[in-house]
Amino acid sequence: MTTADNQLRLSDKLDWDALAHAYAAARRLHVPDFLHPDDAARLHQSLRTRGDWRLVVNQGERSFDLDRAAQAALSPD
């Protein structure tokens, strides 16, 4: 099966009944291996190579939103 670059497939190993039961019991859910392995790897690679990440730092009531250029301009101090 091929997918478009912007589409992700869910894993075909998900047990929907077991997931529904677990959610009903705990009202929260952790779903390991949620994505199809190929699509999970593709998403991981895409996120690692993106250049538009921003770093947001809070200091008390102040907030700093730093793009890559602003991060590179910071001194180690």
Residue-wise pLDDT for 14-29, tens only, equals 999 999 999 999 999 9
Domain edges within the chain: 36-77
CB neighbours of residue 39 within 10 Å: 16
Residue 5: is its pLDDT beyond 80?
no
The first and second tokens of residue 37, run together, are 């392995």
Is-contact 3 39, C-beta < 8 A? yes
Could you say which DSSP state residue 4 is in? -
Whether this model's pTM surpasses 0.75: no
Distance CA 77, CA 69 (A): 17
List Cβ neighbours of 16 (8 Å cut-off, separation of 6 or more).
none
